[in-house]
Structure 1
Amino acid sequence: MKGNRLFEIIYILLDKKNVTAKELAEHFEVSQRTIYRDIEDLSQSGVPIYMTKGKGGGISLLSDFILNKAILSQEEKKEILAAMQGLNAVNKSEFNGVLSKLSSFLGGDNENWIEVDFSNWDKNNTLGEKFTTIKNSIINKNLISFEYFNSNGKLLERIVEPLKLVFKGQGWYLYAYCREREDNRFFKLTRMSNINIILENFNRTVPNKIFSEEDTGYYNELIHLKLRIDKKLAFRIYDEFHNYSLDDNGDFIVNLDFPSGDWLFGYLMSFGEYIEVLEPLNIRDEIKKKLMYALKKY
């Protein structure tokens, strides 16, 4: 659409400072005549855009030009502010000022229809500090070192090339290349401590997209579980599962695929007396052994 093209022309000029009509025509796959008409339309709209001839000439913006909010539609303004409100949840001190300036710039009586808070109920916002440190290391391509508690409860020391911050499954993770394992790994931010930026750069490319609909490659192995969970824990069913049905007693039958590992037993046992593992039998037997071992302590 023409409106989108005009908007993108401005951003190209803000980025590259000077572009020829031929380059713009090739970029948008339109004629140079169309580009000249676009430039005229922008000029008539008050955008300080001009053309120069000769060697080194082309289309430029005045150096002090600031993008006018009128170029954005009302819906686009709302989407930008909503996205910033989501980022504000990660570290309020860092994004509050940006959000305030954007809100004033975009004008608006923007409805605060969304509020996101990733901090725990105890209000100890160490997650925000970790997020900021890791974010800076990703942007500057610096190595980081930290201590990490893995799913087996072991304290590890790691040096990694941080590539991406990921929010998945109700938690924040760092996706990074681990120098120890020589492979990409996920690290849960809540299990990371003593994070330090190392003044050494890396050149590894940041992936555009880590997950796909079919991808489960970041798991070691998936195990299919069939569980019966007492209706007294209905609130956890609604919070944590999507594929469930009711039996004749009104209890929940849950079918799901979960990553393997010792952490799985701790998770299942967190349901206490209100869960029964129906399948597979090896997981059911292992749960039984762990419960018998725990019973000996009492």
Structure 2
Amino acid sequence: MKISRLFQIIYIILEKGIVTAPELAKRFEVSVRTIYRDVDALSQAGIPIYANQGKGGGISLTEKFILNKSLLSEKEQDEILIALQSLAAVRYPEFDDILLKLSNLFLKSNVNWIEVEFSSWGSDQKQKEVFSLLKNAILKQQVIAFSYFNVAGEKSDRRVEPIKLLFKDKSWYLKGYCLQRMSCRTFKITRMSDVQPTGDPCSHAASQEQPATVSSNDAAPAAISLKLKISAKGAYRVYDDFSEKDIIKNEDGSYTVNASMPSGEWIFNYLFSFGPLLEVIEPPSIRLEMKTRIKNMANKYSPIT
């Protein structure tokens, strides 16, 4: 966020010629002292920026200043543009404008070669709104309230000081300081509902340095080793879901997969998502449970008398 503010300060001064610290402080919702620290940071970075005191004074740049390659290398320019494109994906309203201005200054015309979309395929607008809400709460350092379902399906109401969003193993998580548990916790976003901003400021700044923990109900279950056989028609799932080192391609075109997965009810829903493409070879307990569940499902479709 600070880097974005620094670039915006430069653009505002380039457009207006001179601007006062209180004006900038009001625009960015920070203190005047913070603005002067930003000016010092820009000066140390080699930007010819200075502040004049007294009537008619303000913050300005050396006349005819241009942000060019003497300040940033070609690689650094590309990295800044890529970072801004990624930030634009979280729909922070000013990043698109900054990206356009910087690409023009850097004489970069092809800035649309990458697009970052944080929501999953087919997700609805509500999911995107939740993600945006969490992002804004983190940036503004405000407490959020929500209901949460743990791995046992138990619901609890939480008030959390959000710290950061994490992406791990195809899922998004929120790391934050839970005011109920009085410690840092990690919450899976798909298990959060009724997410609401409270407007209350975060007060546990030091919590950002604490390792996130999970409650006993949310602790990761023990891993279970599986041997699966997946037909050739399931190739698209094989390489999407499993590591190449765990895959053996058989002569008939099918695949044998040796994988380690967390145990629990979810694993049966996952295995059944392959439909007739998958057969569990090992362990016998999972194979037997799959057979039992298939039989129970089939019984539900017996002729109605």
TM-score for both structures, normalised by structure 1: 0.68
* Aligned residues of 1:151 and 1:262 also touching (Cα < 8 A): no
Do the aligned partners of 2:223 and 2:263 also contact (CA within 8 Å) in 1?
Answer: yes
For residue 208 of structure 2, give the secondary structure of its aligned residue in structure 1.
coil
Q: Deviations over 1:257-294 (max 9, x none)?
A: 22233212211111112212222333333333332332
Against the structure 1 CA distance between its residues 63 and 168, is the aligned structure 2 distance closer, same or farther, given a 3 Å change threshold?
A: same
Contact kept? 2:224, 2:261, Cα under 8 Å:
yes
Match for residue 276 of structure 2? 273
Residue pair 2:175, 2:187 contacting (<8 A) in 1 also: yes
Task: Quote the residue 2:60 is aligned against.
Answer: 64
Q: Secondary structure at the match of 1:148?
A: strand
Q: Offset at 1:233?
A: 0.8
C-alpha distance in 1, partners of 2:95/2:280?
45
- The one-character-per-residue Cα deviations of 1:201-235 (angstroms, maximum 9, x if unpaired) are 2314224987xxxxxx9733322222111111111
Say if 1:161 and 1:178, in contact at 8 Å, map to a contact too. yes
| CA distance 1:89–1:244, shift in 2 (3 Å) | same
Offset of residue 94 of structure 1: 5.6
**Alignment partner, residue 138 of structure 1:** 138
Residue correspondence of structure 1 range 64-213 to structure 2 within 5 A? 64-65=60-61, 68-70=67-69, 71-91=71-91, 93=93, 95-122=95-122, 124-181=124-181, 184-198=184-198, 199-203=200-204, 204-207=206-209
- Structure 1 unmatched ranges of 5 or more: 1-12, 20-38, 51-61, 211-216
Paired residues of 2:184 and 2:211 also in contact (CA < 8 A): no
Alpha-carbon offset, residue 146 of structure 1: 0.9
Deviations 1:103-151 (A, max 9, x none): 2343322442212223455463333322222123223433211123444
- Greater displacement, 133-142 / 93-102: 93-102
Structure 1 residue identity aligned to 2:60: D
Q: 1:101 to 1:140 in 2, by over 3 A?
A: same
Structure-1 residue corresponding to 2:29: none
Moved more, 123-132 or 168-177: 123-132
Aligned to 1:56: none
Any idea what the Cα deviations from partners look like across 1:156-181, whole Å, max 9, x if unmatched? 43222322101222232212333445
Q: SS of 2:196's equivalent?
A: strand
Paired residues of 1:143 and 1:161 also in contact (CA < 8 A) = yes
User: Which digits, 9 at most, give the CA deviation of each residue in 1:46-67, with x for residues without a partner?
Assistant: 83579xxxxxxxxxxx942488
Tell me which moved more, 101-110 or 72-81: 101-110
Q: Secondary structure at the match of 1:296?
A: helix
Q: C-alpha distance in 1, partners of 2:102/2:210?
A: 26
**Alpha carbons of structure 1 residues 16 and 89: separation in structure 2 relative to 1, 3 Å:** closer
Taking the aligned partners of 2:140 and 2:84, their CA distance within structure 1 comes to 22
Q: Which amino acid aligns with 1:284?
A: R
2: distance between equivalents of 1:184 and 1:127? 24
Distance 1:143 1:112 in 2: 35
Residue correspondence of structure 1 range 28-47 to structure 2 within 5 A: 47=48
Q: Distance in 1 between matches of 2:145 and 2:48?
A: 48
The Cα shift of 1:18 comes to 5.8
| Aligned counterparts of 1:219 and 1:83: Cα–Cα separation in 2 | 33
Give the total of aligned pairs: 247
Distance 2:268 2:122 in 1: 27
Name the SS for the 2:60 alignment partner: coil
In 2, the alpha carbon distance for the partners of 1:69 and 1:47 equals: 13
Q: Please report how far the alpha carbon of residue 252 of structure 1 lies from its aligned counterpart in structure 2 after TM superposition.
A: 1.0
Alignment check: 8 A CA contact 1:69 1:106 kept: yes
Distance, in Å, in 2 between the alignment partners of 1:291 and 1:177 is: 43
Aligned-pair RMSD on alpha carbons?
Answer: 3.6
TM-score normalised by structure 2 residue count:
0.67
Cα shift readout 1:70-101 (whole Å, capped 9, x = no counterpart): 30111111111112212222327563233223
Question: Does the CA-based 8 Å contact 2:226-2:259 persist in structure 1?
Answer: yes
SS at match of 1:113: coil
- Unaligned 5+ residue runs, structure 2? 1-34, 52-57, 213-217
Distance in 1 separating the partners of 2:171 and 2:178: 20
Q: Secondary structure at the match of 2:139?
A: helix
Name the aligned partner's letter for residue 258 of structure 2: N
CA distance in 2, matches of 1:95, 1:206: 25
Are the equivalent residues in 1 in contact too, given 2:223–2:260 (CA < 8 A)?
Answer: yes
Amino acid at match of 2:208: V
Change (3 A) 1:193 1:137: same
